Amino acid sequence: MNTPFNNYLTNLEKAAKILNLSEKETAALREPNKVIEKKISVALDSGEQKEFNAYRVQFNNARGPYKGGIRFHPAADISEVKALAALMAVKCATVNIPFGGGKGGVQCNPKELSAGELEKVARAWARAMADDIGVDKDIPAPDVYTTPEIMAYILDEYEKIKGRSEPGLITGKPIDLGGSLGRGTATAQGAVYVLEELIKMLGKEQGQLTVAIQGFGNAGYFAANILHNLGYKIVAVSDSKGGIYNATGLNPVEIMKIKEEQGSVTNAAGAQIITNEEILTCDCDILIPAALDNQIREDNTAAVKAGIILEISNGPTTPAADKILREKGVVVVPDVLANAGGVTVSYFEWVQNRMGYYWTEEEVFAKLKPIMVKAFQDIWRFAEEKKIALRDAAFILAVERIVKAMRLRGRV
């Protein structure tokens, strides 16, 4: 079965084999250290009391405190959150920042909840998890459909319970509560740093390359914007309601205006309407999945036309699709590298909170770029040397680092 967690296990087993890990070492990475699954109850505006499933999965903390976002989504079940927590451990090790991996979630549809109800859900999540999270223990952040405002409610609730200020508890906060400059665009900016290095390696001309982006949330929108400003041609974008394609190019700022005013990118005039499935196989040089997992699968991969896939979302490509893409000669920049700019600036936010001293946006990006570039170059060279895919190279380098830390702690 193509569950996100099974996909993680397939990638783990491949890395474990090449690294010659013992059974005990591999087993330690097959299951999370701790799974917290609770029911939270919230009074809706209608007066009805509603229960939601709330999760935090603490996957591995050998390299540092658990780190990872919280998503509010109807599909956020325990299998997905477990997979995302595992990917966070691999991601933090890929870019070599001193964190482990965790992930949280609330199974809910935020589009059906009012702002007040969302605040209650966030505060209830914080109360349910207060004893398991903390600046030196487990540091949450935003993910799909969670925002800096939600982070602020979680921080406030947690600090009330603990009776102390602890801004480094959570990252992706509003700037006025200790958030880092640059965090909002960090995922997209990090992905673009990696893409530009890849394009140099491939010896391609950057200007005029065409780009399709599935998902117009925080990461997808900023990626579209940064690439547009660099001279790439954005030919297709989509949101949860569908997508648009225009071979002559789209202006992301104008499309965002339409989405904000009319609810969806599909209301833009002069573009061909396409589905979220069609955007994956549209005519483009670079495909950027920036929505949900399991999008590029065995059944639709043959039709992919892009030569480069830059995974801004977590887990968009299944292992079976990876195999077909490699045979087709498509270069896949894996999520654990491509979207690691977000958690890297979360790390900077945590560092700044602990120092109580804040950096300019220029300083943040000047620190982010070398981390992304080095991670890309290490993975690229290793993949070339071993004649393997970038995902396999990233997993091998990351798993090796995690296992080294587990060995040093005498855990395996």
Which residues are tagged catalytic? Answer: 103
Calculate ∠ Cα 66-69-70, nearest 5°: 115
Location of structure tokens 């079976």: 320
In this structure, what token pair is assigned to residue 226? 């940064």
65-104 footprint of ligand GLU as x/- string (CB under 6 A): --xxx-----------------------------------
Q: Is 171 in the site for ligand GLU (CB under 6 A)?
A: yes
User: Roughly how many angstroms between the first and final C-alpha of the chain, as a whole number?
Assistant: 29
Query: Least Å distance between CB 214 and ligand GLU?
Result: 16
Count of residues that interact with ligand GLU, criterion CB under 6 A? 12
Measured CA to CA, the distance from residue 395 to residue 402 in angstroms comes to 10
With 0-12 / 13-18 / 19 or more C-beta atoms within 10 angstroms meaning exposed / middle / buried, residue 261 is exposed
Q: Which residue number, 285 or 311, has a Cβ lying nearer to ligand GLU? A: 311
Residue 367 in marked binding region? no
Query: Least Å distance between CB 401 and ligand GLU?
Result: 17
Give the ranges where 250-357 is alpha helix by DSSP (H). Answer: 252-262, 319-328, 335-338, 340-355
Q: Which residue number, 69 or 252, has a Cβ lying nearer to ligand GLU? A: 69
Measured CA to CA, the distance from residue 42 to residue 71 in angstroms comes to 17
Q: Which residues pair with 56 in a beta bridge?
A: 36, 104
Collect all residues with Cβ–Cβ distance below 8 Å to 51 and sequence separation of at least 6: 39, 40, 41
Residue 204 in marked binding region? no
Q: Which residue number, 295 or 339, has a Cβ lying nearer to ligand GLU? A: 339
What residues numbered 344-403 form the site for ligand GLU, per CB under 6 A?
346
Residue 3 in marked binding region? no
Q: Is 29 in the site for ligand GLU (CB under 6 A)?
A: no
Q: Which residue number, 143 or 285, has a Cβ lying nearer to ligand GLU? A: 143
Q: Which residue number, 155 or 250, has a Cβ lying nearer to ligand GLU? A: 155
In this structure, what token pair is assigned to residue 236? 């297709």
DSSP state of 143: -
Query: Least Å distance between CB 303 and ligand GLU?
Result: 28
In this structure, what token pair is assigned to residue 404? 């080294």
Query: Least Å distance between CB 265 and ligand GLU?
Result: 22
Query: Least Å distance between CB 293 and ligand GLU?
Result: 11
CB atoms within 10 A of CB 393: 24
Q: Which residue number, 117 or 143, has a Cβ lying nearer to ligand GLU? A: 143
Measured CA to CA, the distance from residue 157 to residue 237 in angstroms comes to 37
What residues numbered 30-69 form the site for ligand GLU, per CB under 6 A?
67-69
φ/ψ region of 259 (left if φ > 0, alpha if ψ in -120 to 50, else beta) reads alpha
Measured CA to CA, the distance from residue 223 to residue 410 in angstroms comes to 42
What residues numbered 176-235 form the site for ligand GLU, per CB under 6 A?
none
What residues numbered 120-149 form the site for ligand GLU, per CB under 6 A?
141, 143
| Cβ-closest position to ligand GLU | 69
Query: Least Å distance between CB 143 and ligand GLU?
Result: 4
Q: Is 339 in the site for ligand GLU (CB under 6 A)?
A: yes
Residue 229 in marked binding region? no
Measured CA to CA, the distance from residue 277 to residue 242 in angstroms comes to 9
Tell me which of 26, 94, 295, 314 binds ligand GLU, using CB under 6 A. Answer: 314
Q: Is the Cβ–Cβ distance between 355 and 327 less than 8 Å?
A: no
Written as one letter, the residue type at 40 is I
Query: Least Å distance between CB 170 and ligand GLU?
Result: 9
Measured CA to CA, the distance from residue 382 to residue 393 in angstroms comes to 6
Tell me which of 108, 121, 343, 375 binds ligand GLU, using CB under 6 A. Answer: 343
Summarize as ranges the residues that interact with ligand GLU (CB under 6 A). Answer: 67-69, 141, 143, 171-172, 314, 339, 342-343, 346
Binding site for NAD(+), residues?
187, 218
- List binding-site positions: 67, 91, 187, 218, 346
